[in-house]
Structures are given as structure tokens and as C-alpha cells.
């Protein structure tokens, strides 16, 4: 079965009534947890991005506190899980600035956590990949913001 393109779906949605659109949205929200989380962000949290950013940072910090750092295997699994959750929150916002803030918080919290991530090749590569993602997102921002954030990125290196 061939899926319709985004433009075709947009065109079809423009012809629907408000009642039908509401029914479709509710069905999407009930279908998958990710859809519900995205709808929650769009409806309740997108108007105050700074508060949302602080809540996510607090959640990341709490998850780092729960990591079993005595066993590198379990620490690796936990770090990947935290990164997966962080990337999900980044996708919700769709903002390069939020992406930089959250990835910087993830990397700086990893550095200060006491986990010997530089001893593990996989964890070190994971860390370096996040620094690269920050650099890539940094290139999409306005020049003034790039200058401000580039100082932060230098701390990670």
C-alpha cells in the first residue's frame, strides 16, 4: 500500500470540518504514546519554551543521578536511554536553540557525573557524536547566538 505525501494529507485535511479534525487528532493521540506527548507539548508547553527547557533539564539531571556508575555496561545502557529521551524532547520543539541547550546539558552533566566515559570507546564516541550534533545545530542559528553558544561548546572540548 502506497502512503500519501505530506502535501496530499495537508490538502485533504484542509477540506475536513472542525469536528472531523478533532476526531482524527483524538484518534492519533490514543494510538501512540509519542503522538500524545507531542500533542501535550504543542497544546500546553510550546508557549513557554524556557519553562519546558528547564523541566527537561531537571529530568535529565535526575536520570543521571540514578545511573549505576559502578558497572560500565549498565552506565552505557542508561546513558543511551537518557540520550534517546533527550532527542525525543528535541524533536518536539523543532528548535535549534533548544537542541543545543539540551545536548550541551547532556554532555556537561555526563562530564560532571564521574562516569569514566573516556575509557570506553563506545561512550567516548557517543559523547563526540553529541558534540558534532551541537556544532551542526550551531551552524543553523543566527550569528549572535552562534557566538554565544560557541563559548559553551569550547567547554565541552
Q: What angle do CA 149, 59, 57 make, to 5 degrees?
A: 15
- 54-82 pLDDT tens trace: 999 999 999 999 998 888 889 999 999 99
- Report the mean per-residue pLDDT for the chain: 90
90: cell is: 528535541
The structure's pTM equals: 0.85
Q: What pLDDT digit, counting tens, does each position of 38-52 carry? A: 999 989 998 999 999
Amino acid at each position: 500500500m502506497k502512503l500519501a505525501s505530506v502535501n496530499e494529507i495537508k490538502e485533504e485535511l484542509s477540506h475536513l470540518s472542525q469536528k472531523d479534525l478533532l476526531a482524527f487528532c483524538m484518534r492519533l493521540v490514543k494510538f501512540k504514546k509519542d503522538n500524545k506527548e507531542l500533542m501535550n507539548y504543542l497544546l500546553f508547553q510550546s508557549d513557554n519554551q524556557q519553562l519546558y527547557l528547564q523541566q527537561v533539564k531537571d529530568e535529565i539531571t535526575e536520570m543521571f543521578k540514578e545511573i549505576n556508575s559502578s558497572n560500565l555496561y549498565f552506565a552505557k545502557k542508561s546513558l543511551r536511554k537518557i540520550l534517546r529521551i533527550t532527542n525525543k524532547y528535541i524533536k518536539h520543539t523543532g528548535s535549534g536553540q533548544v537542541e543545543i541547550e539540551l545536548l550541551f546539558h547532556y554532555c556537561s552533566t555526563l562530564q560532571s557525573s564521574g562516569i569514566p566515559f573516556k575509557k570506553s570507546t563506545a561512550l567516548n564516541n557517543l559523547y563526540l557524536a553529541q558534540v558534532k550534533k551541537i556544532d551542526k545545530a550551531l551552524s543553523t542559528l543566527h550569528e549572535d547566538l552562534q557566538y554565544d553558544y560557541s563559548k559553551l561548546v569550547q567547554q565541552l572540548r
